Amino acid sequence: MGFPIIGETLEFMKPHDAFQLPTFLTKKILRHGPVFRTSLFGARVIISTDIGLNMEIAKTNHVPGAPKSLARFFGENNLFVKSKESHKHVRNLTSQFLGSQGLRLRMIQDIDSLARTHMELGAKNGGLDIKETSSKILIECLAKKVMGDMEPHAAKELTQCWGGFPRGWFRFSWSIPGNGVYRMLKARNQMMNLLKETVLKKRASGEELGEFFKIIFGETEGGSKKMSIENAIEYIFTFFVIANETTPGVLAATVKLINDKPRVKQELQREHKRIFQDKTEKDEADLTWEDYKSMTFTQMVINESLRITSTVPTMLRIVEHETHVGDYTIPAGWIFMGFPSVHFNPEKYEDPLAFNPWRWEGKDLGVILSRTYMPFGAGSRLCLGAEFAKMQMAIFIHHLCRYTWSMKTETKVLRRFILMFPRGSDVQISEDTEVDNSAVY
């Protein structure tokens, strides 16, 4: 269990290669086997790489497992964590906004337009930072969908709030002026106040809120469920912060993987050149849902990237009652962390440390969960934003591949639970769109 209070937190949080399981985990498995207990962030934790156990815990437990600092960050009354019923309610709301129908009707054109605009700007400037640009696209798109038209100063302040949260959510829970938890809570309060002020001002003046708020209030006002403005604000806050912290980092890591495999890059350029030429011949500019679904090789790349970058637990639960699975007894009240180590099992994936999108050829590319693939979690907490994340990545890659580009060789991708880019994620871009046919492995 490690040292008193701090347990094995320092070892667990050491930065490691984002494309390999952490040394802490591999050493522990060699010593204790696929399931072991430890102490992290002042909490008692079970860590598991046993796929059967992970799936059983995900299926029978519903409360997300997180240190107290994270629970405080998202709020004790947050509907995502308050109860099974409230979580079910917000999942229903989110699926209306981010389900395939919502993406077709509301999101794809906005993401496409913003990605095109930012890529054109990057080409004029000679380059851009992938993670930073992806974050801007996401924030600009969601801000309009949620809040509607905003006064320029409020929109700018909101963008700064969303983009400026302290990194590293997994911390000890002590809030001392100047430390990480204190800064996180301060940033949270600032953003919550700004959101609430904007919503109240718009409702008082009769101005329209964005489509997402219409879904929230439209469903609840006429039904049995009532969501207060406070709960709605907490819901929006949680939704935005999680979206902004996950997809941009995975996209930047994906671009790094593509950059390091010239044959993958060449095949992507061919696929997107074909789509671009088809749109030109039809005198169409905007991408459609059908265009997105036709990006077969891009989907293979994204699936492979999600497999190889899932080097953190994708299943986090509080064990609600003592559970017996096989030879294991999992005690109630402990945090359970399930790692998807099956992603690196050579019996399931040949040469598992290699980035090889062709391993997905002929497979169902829409699957987001199986016994050998679980980048988005499992059970009642399976990520509802999975298709949205994949769509963002595909559209960004589409517009990037319209240009000649290369990522800086010094780019490093590390994990300290959350993906880190200590030297940034810059790419150089030129407007020369000729596809390089000389690419090799």
pLDDT digits (tens, 9 = 90+) for 293-328: 999 999 999 999 999 999 988 898 999 999 888 888
Predicted local confidence at residue 224, as pLDDT? 42
383 is in an annotated binding site: yes
pLDDT digits (tens, 9 = 90+) for 399-427: 999 999 999 889 999 998 889 999 999 99
Predicted local confidence at residue 223, as pLDDT? 42
What's the predicted TM-score (pTM) here? 0.88
> What CATH topology corresponds to 8-148+208-430?
Cytochrome p450 (1.10.630)
Residue 350 confidence (pLDDT) above 90 = yes
Q: Any bridge partners for residue 317, and if so which?
A: 64, 336
Q: What is the mean pLDDT of residues 56-80?
A: 74
Q: Is 35 helix (H, G, I), strand (E, B) or coil?
A: strand
Listed in order, strand segments (DSSP E) in 62-158 are 127-129
Q: Which of 162-176, 210-224, 331-345, 365-379 has the lowest mean pLDDT?
A: 162-176
Alpha-carbon distance values, 380 to 43, 84, 316, 385, 416 (Å): 23, 9, 11, 13, 26
Q: What is the mean pLDDT of residues 230-242?
A: 78
pLDDT band at 145 (very low <50, low <70, confident <90, very high): confident
Burial of 4-13, coded b for 16+ CB within 10 Å and e otherwise, reads eeebbbebbb
Q: What residues have CB less than 8 Å from 276, skipping those under 6 apart? A: 402
Q: What is the mean pLDDT of residues 242-252?
A: 88
Nearest CA to 66 among 315, 330, 416, 323?
A: 315
Residue 167 confidence (pLDDT) above 70 = no
Neighbours of 362 (CB within 10 A): 8
Tokens of 31: 């010593």
Residue type, 209: L
DSSP string, 265-317: HHHHHHHHHHHHHHHHHTT--S--HHHHHT-HHHHHHHHHHHHHH--S-SEEE
pLDDT band at 221 (very low <50, low <70, confident <90, very high): very low
Q: What percent of the chain has pLDDT over 90?
A: 48
Tokens 């964590």: give the residue: 81
Q: Is 324 helix (H, G, I), strand (E, B) or coil?
A: strand
